[in-house]
Amino acid sequence: MILTTSNGDTPGYLELQDGSIFRGKLFGSRESTDGEVVFNTGMVGYVESLTDPSYRGQILTFTYPLIGNYGVCDRELFESGNVQVKGAVVSSLSEQCSHWEAVSSLDEFLGNEGITGIEGVDTRALTKHLRQKGTMLGRIVREDDDIGPFNVEDPSLKDLVSEVSPDKVRVTKGEGARIALIDCGAKRSIERSLLERGCSVINVPYDHPFTDLEYDGVLISNGPGDPMMCRKTIANVKRLMEMDDPPPMAGICLGNQIMALAAGGSTYKLPFGHRSQNQPCKDLVTGRCVITSQNHGYAVETSSLPDGWREWYRNLNDSTVEGIRHETLPFMAVQFHPEASPGPTDASGFFDTFLEVVSNDR
């Protein structure tokens, strides 16, 4: 289907915390907005990124020059029920989109979702600036808005996980292992990956006490914000880890950080994060390298890992920790996204490795 949209002419600008200004034209809802400005270098997958709960509170810059050319497909393919970003920044917004499953243009879609984008921005210059200075707060402003001095709330100081986690338990039955998925803002593709492997998925809120569940293993999902804000989840995971006969446990992205914190480790904020589909990571056990999809702004401090824990995966670009594993207990986690969506599926075997541990423990 070929869809055409008129981008209109609503001048505006992106203002960063350090006073830098990047001018362009607004699209989508065309209203002023603010958040933490980050960038993603992926060539495809803008719909998955826009609906990824890990982007909660952020203004997402796409470095690929042309965005919107295949439109927006049905919501069943989204990574959550709605758009999670506070805003979008693109160089060139395609006025015409073509895809056999497209139901709307990106402009129309963001407008219906109440999300503002800005196009015509020199995203190469913006990305270079963020790489040199680090991610920072920013706001997208209509040229005719009088919104006063820069005063943007830092989303990392908020408990963002509570905003994207479900408020009740939901069970999707399968014939295999029963996996309790601690939903801190889980991408739908994580649940799909488990269901494709025959699992029963017990989707639980981030603060669930695990007092009335029957399960074979626990998986802690991705999610937004500073992991230190996830105090209830950390406390619950710590309690599970310290059981006499602890269940097999795994973590993805934020889940990796939560497991490290629950074990007694520490995390820190990266200068500009890893948000891309081409991050090389080395398995320090096998020596195998996988190309991974990533979306995180925090990492585990290697030296903080307590006795019994070891680094499992390492990023070959900057040597940051990309996975941890316990030497004797059934605990493992990765910082990247083995479910991809978008991105390569090199690391999808993580689910099989975890489920093998679960099977052996049953």
Residues annotated as catalytic are 253, 337, 339
Provide the token pair at 193. Answer: 């990956």
Query: What angle do the packed helices 231-241 and 254-263 form, to 10 degrees?
Result: 60
C-alpha distances out from residue 336 to 36, 48, 294, Å: 21, 15, 5
Determine contact, residues 281/290, Cβ cutoff 8 Å. yes
Q: Measured at the alpha carbon of residue 261, what is the angle toward residues 330 and 160, in degrees to the nearest 5?
A: 115
Question: Quick check: helix, strand or coil at residue 155?
Answer: helix
State both tokens at 285.
Answer: 């056990």
Distance (Å, whole) CA 78 – CA 107: 17
Q: Which of 292, 255, 300, 260 is nearest to 276 (CA)?
A: 292
Residues 46/77, Cβ–Cβ less than 8 Å: no
Q: Specify the DSSP class assigned to residue 239.
A: H
**C-alpha span between 15 and 231 (Å, rounded):** 33
Could you tell me where the beta strands, DSSP code E, fall in 104-223? 116-119, 136-142, 170-172, 178-183, 200-205, 217-220
Q: Would you give the distance in Å from CA 69 to the centre of its chain?
A: 23
